[in-house]
């Protein structure tokens, strides 16, 4: 019984690592998913941009931001593997994301283009910081606990992000503050930046870089050489490579649906307040679902639970064609909530189990470049098909092929052997 209790007790480094998900997930819901897309569409359409084009421009901004992170990810990861480099690089990227998010509050409403550019900058900071955050999982816990810790990160991240979101919704719906709608939204962006900053402090204090490469002369040059050696030795990491190919395809669909959900809901005529409430419901569904995915992965294995997520998203793509009301959108959001955190968390932990720990940052650089390049394809696909067919839902349906290909390649990935778990 004592052993069972110990298995469920998180260490200080695990708690601090999980709390960083709590911190940065506020950006994920307030900026990436719910509030910023609606704010941008209102600002841009108020300046004469059509609804379809505003959705497309937002997709292009997402694609550009993720493309920049994709190109930088491998070299950033390679440099961060050297002793003493990861945490300063994490801090620099986090600071970029926080400052850009804070800047939203000071952009005139009519300047939608500058707002969009700052959004892309904030997404670069957020994405780069997550390279180092994801890689630090291998230093924060053990192989056998990765599924639970990674899933707890996503799970508590949903709850953490929901707190400022719920407060924002309360003020949005009640109108008790004597300020304009625009001022309320900009205040929400300031609160998001501060939330991100404050709850990152435990990570800075308690998560250390334990696995690393000793410093060498010519860090940048040697980092490029190491990257080239890793690429040339890719056959030695066949399992990792196959996983990355599978991940590239299925996470593309996951990320695109996450990024474009509220914009698409707006296109089918749903009110902004309704969309925000629906996103909150999805967040609360995602919390227990992420935890459950982590627990079930301990019993059935990562791959099987990732397949559950892929199947769920395949159905979501089909169901999206029926979106025509608030009720159907709520159903879609709940389905997304049941799978989103779980599939992301288990992908992260499975990758962490497959790679050599001393090269964790470098390999997570590849992990992020595959994920980010995938996120370039999806939003562009939705944007182009939306403009071509004048129907955003057709773009969502087209994502189904990505889940099918990803699931097919994942079949050939072998899960690493683990010690027998107790309980």
CA distances from 136 to 70, 289, 312, 362 (A): 19, 23, 29, 11
Rounded to an integer, what distance in angstroms lies between the CA atom of residue 121 and that of residue 251?
A: 22
**Residue 155 CB partners (closer than 8 Å, separation 6+):** 286, 287, 288, 289, 290, 291, 294, 341, 345
- pLDDT above 70: percentage of residues in the chain: 88
Confidence band of 2 (pLDDT split at 50, 70, 90): very low
Taking a C-beta distance cutoff of 8 angstroms, is the pair 295, 346 a contact?
A: no
User: Quick one: pLDDT at residue 223?
Assistant: 62
Of the ranges 199-203, 264-268, 282-286, the best mean pLDDT one: 199-203
Q: What is the pLDDT of residue 1?
A: 39
Using alpha carbons, select from 419, 400, 395, 373 the residue that is nearest to residue 74.
Answer: 373
Range of 87-101, 103-117, 363-377 with top mean pLDDT: 87-101
CB burial string 141-155: b at 16+ within 10 A, e below: beeebbbbbbbbbbb
- What mean pLDDT is predicted for residues 186-207? 93
Q: Which residues neighbour 237 within 8 Å (Cβ) at sequence distance 6 or greater?
A: 230, 355
Lowest mean pLDDT among 131-135, 347-351, 359-363: 359-363
Largest CA distance in the chain: 65
Query: Can you tell me whether residue 82 is helix, strand or coil?
Result: strand
End-to-end CA distance of the chain: 9
Residue 213: beta bridge partners? 82
Which pLDDT belongs to residue 310?
92
CB-CB contact of 329 with 270 (8 Å) = yes
Point out which residues pair with 82 in neighbouring strands. Answer: 213
Residue 210: partners with Cβ closer than 8 Å, 6 or more residues away:
139
Using an 8 Å Cβ cutoff, are 359 and 230 in contact?
A: yes
Determine the pLDDT at residue 99.
Answer: 95
Write out pLDDT tens, residues 106-129: 888 778 889 999 999 999 999 889
């Amino acid at each position: 019984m004592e052993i069972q209790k110990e298995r469920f007790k998180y260490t200080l480094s695990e708690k601090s690592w999980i709390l960083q998900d709590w911190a940065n997930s506020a950006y994920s819901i307030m900026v990436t998913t719910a509030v910023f897309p609606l704010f941008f569409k209102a600002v841009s359409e108020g300046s004469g941009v059509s609804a379809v084009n505003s959705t497309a421009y937002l997709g292009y901004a997402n694609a550009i931001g993720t493309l920049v992170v994709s190109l930088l990810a491998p070299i950033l990861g390679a440099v961060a593997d050297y002793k003493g480099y990861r945490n300063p690089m994490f801090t620099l990227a986090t600071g970029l994301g926080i400052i850009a998010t804070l800047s939203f509050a000071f952009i005139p409403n009519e300047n939608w283009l500058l707002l969009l550019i700052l959004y892309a900058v904030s997404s670069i900071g957020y994405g780069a910081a997550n390279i180092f955050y994801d890689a630090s999982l291998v230093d924060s816990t053990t192989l056998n606990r990765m599924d639970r810790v990674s899933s707890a990160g996503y799970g508590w991240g949903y709850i953490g992000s929901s707190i400022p979101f719920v407060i924002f919704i309360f003020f949005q719906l009640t109108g008790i503050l004597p300020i304009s709608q625009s001022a309320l939204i900009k205040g929400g962006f300031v609160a998001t930046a501060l939330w991100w900053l404050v709850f990152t402090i435990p990570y800075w204090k308690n998560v250390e870089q334990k696995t690393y490469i000793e410093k060498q002369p010519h860090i940048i040059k040697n980092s490029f050489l190491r990257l080239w050696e890793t690429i040339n030795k890719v056959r030695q990491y066949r399992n990792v490579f196959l996983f990355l190919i599978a991940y590239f395809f299925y996470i593309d669909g996951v990320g695109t649906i996450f990024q474009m959900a509220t914009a698409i809901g707006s296109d089918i005529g749903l009110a902004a307040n309704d969309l925000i409430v629906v996103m909150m419901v999805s967040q609360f569904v995602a919390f227990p679902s992420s935890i459950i995915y982590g627990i079930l992965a301990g019993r059935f294995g990562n791959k099987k639970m990732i397949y559950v997520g892929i199947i769920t998203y395949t159905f979501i793509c089909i169901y999206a064609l029926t979106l025509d009301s608030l009720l159907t959108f709520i159903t879609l959001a709940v389905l997304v909530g049941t799978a989103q955190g779980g599939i992301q968390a288990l992908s992260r932990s499975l990758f962490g189990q497959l790679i050599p720990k001393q090269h964790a940052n470098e390999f997570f650089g590849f992990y992020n470049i595959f994920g980010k390049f995938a996120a370039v394809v999806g939003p562009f696909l939705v944007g182009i098909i939306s403009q071509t067919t004048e129907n955003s839902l057709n773009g969502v349906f087209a994502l189904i092929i990505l889940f099918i290909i990803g699931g097919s390649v994942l079949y050939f990935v072998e899960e690493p052997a683990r010690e027998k778990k107790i309980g």
